[in-house]
Amino acid sequence: MRTFRDHMESSLYDPERGFYPTRTQTADFYTAPELHPASGAVLSDKIAALLTRVRGARPGVGLSLVEAGCGDGTLACQVARGLREKHPALADGLRFVLVERTRKDLTVAVRKLTAFGLPVDACTGVDRLPRFTGLLYSNELIDAFPAHLLQKKDDGVLEVYVDESGLETLGGLSRPELAAEAAAAASTLAEGERHGVSLEARAWLREAAAHLESGFLLTVDYGKRFAPGAPNPPRAYRRHQIVPALSSEPGTKDLTVPADFESLIAEGARAGLSLESYQSLSTFLIEGGIDAWLSAAAGDAAALYRERARIKTLVHPEGMGETFKVLLQRKSL
Ligand SMILES: C[S@@+](CC[C@H](N)C(=O)[O-])C[C@H]1O[C@@H](n2cnc3c(N)ncnc32)[C@H](O)[C@@H]1O
């Protein structure tokens, strides 16, 4: 018997059978950059504006651009293309660092990004980064962190455990750090409701903040600012559908727990990160000029429809537009 957190860890990252090491890109879900390059292009412009601010505040200091959880480098290449084409002066002298725990993807990402002629470094975790000045961004990383799972039962809140055959049972809290969450969840959850707690997301943020000398941390993810102990159940995706059985057949489906932006903002404040902005993906993309991509779409009627539908999915409230958020935090500027 192991905690749901440990089950999620091996289900997603076991080197032989885990979902990510064996994933076929886009077979089970699309991330925003996999859906359409427009989101990467808008992000690239935003990154250029933010790095220009860092350069203004820290003249003469070499700047790094870090993507954490870069997967196979799809987004990194969109960002690099945007910087090369629209912000060449900034791109020159910029060091790109890719961080990815799935080694097979990291190798592919480095190979793809090298084609853009920027110096590229790579590592498997933010704890391995040198201290840097610049910007660290991530897309759909936080919701892929293994999380503890709490469930309301009778008057109390217990933790979910999973046995060898994928059967779930409830037991006591495995970690003292879960006690405060459990106490809050006791008064907010209804019987049987669940609350995922990503201690890893908080530890990751502390680590990322410690390595950032000065600059920005930009996080794009599925989630919201949850009230303490509010329902926040994990989801399992297979072939673009939500599947009801969470814990059976490990490695065959993507498990995610929505990012808790409230705890990222609070943890960030403790780690020296000031809140610069928090907005929906839709607002972020519209402010960044995604409309231009809609009018630039070309091709025959079918291709045009497909192209526009994909861009609209990025901004539409029932697509990714309101369910995804963009958090920008600032350090020492
Ligand atoms: C949902 S994918 C997103 C990939 C890419 N950012 C995109 O938008 O297409 C999440 C990625 O984060 C990676 N990952 C998970 N935990 C990580 C960690 N602690 N450090 C670095 N990468 C991690 C996974 O291996 C996976 O490639």
Partner residues linked to 305 by β-bridges? none
pTM for this model (two decimals) = 0.97
Is 145 in contact with 204 (CB distance < 8 Å)?
yes
300: its two tokens: 């025959």
Question: Which residue is associated with the tokens 């009018």?
Answer: 295
At 303, the pLDDT band (50, 70, 90 cuts) reads confident
Binding site membership of 73 for ligand 1 (Cβ less than 6 Å): no
Q: Which of 19-23, 230-234, 262-266, 275-279 has the lowest mean pLDDT?
A: 19-23
For residue 194, the model assigns a pLDDT of: 97
Residue 178 within any structural domain of the chain: no
Averaged pLDDT for residues 279-295: 94
142 alpha carbon – ligand 1 mean position (Å): 8
Cβ of residue 256 lying under 6 Å from some atom of ligand 1:
no
Distance between Cα 70 and ligand 1 center (Å)? 6
263 falls within a domain: yes
Is 58 contained in some domain?
Answer: yes
296 or 130, higher pLDDT: 130
Distance from the alpha carbon of residue 200 to the mean position of ligand 1, in angstroms: 13
Query: 79 is written with which tokens?
Result: 């960002």
Query: Is 101's C-beta closer than 6 angstroms to any atom of ligand 1?
Result: yes
Whether 108 maps to a domain, the answer reads yes
Residue 214 belongs to a domain with what CATH number? 3.40.50.12710
Q: Does any domain span residue 82? A: yes
Q: Is the pLDDT of residue 208 over 90?
A: yes
Assigned token pair, 279: 């907005």
Examine residue 17 and state whether it is found in any structural domain, yes or no. no
In a domain, 163, yes or no: no
Domain range for 300: 31-145+200-228+259-331
**Over the range 274-304, which residues count as b (16 or more CB within 10 Å of their CB) and which as e?**
eeeebebbbbbbbebebeebeeebeeeeeee
For residue range 254-271, list pLDDT tens digits in order. Answer: 999 999 999 999 999 999
H or E element in which residue 139 lies:
strand 132-139
The C-alpha atoms of residue 183 and residue 139 are separated, in whole angstroms, by 31
User: DSSP string of 245-269?
Assistant: -SSSSTTSSEEE--EEHHHHHHHHH
Q: How far apart are CA 333 and CA 330, in angstroms?
A: 7
Q: Quick one: which of 199, 188, 194 has its CA closest to 150?
A: 194
- Residue 23 belongs to some domain of the structure: no
Domain count, the chain: 1
Q: Residue 239: is it exposed, middle or buried by C-beta count within 10 angstroms (0-12/13-18/19+)? A: exposed
Containing 137, the helix (H) or strand (E) segment is strand 132-139
DSSP H or E stretch at residue 75? helix 74-86
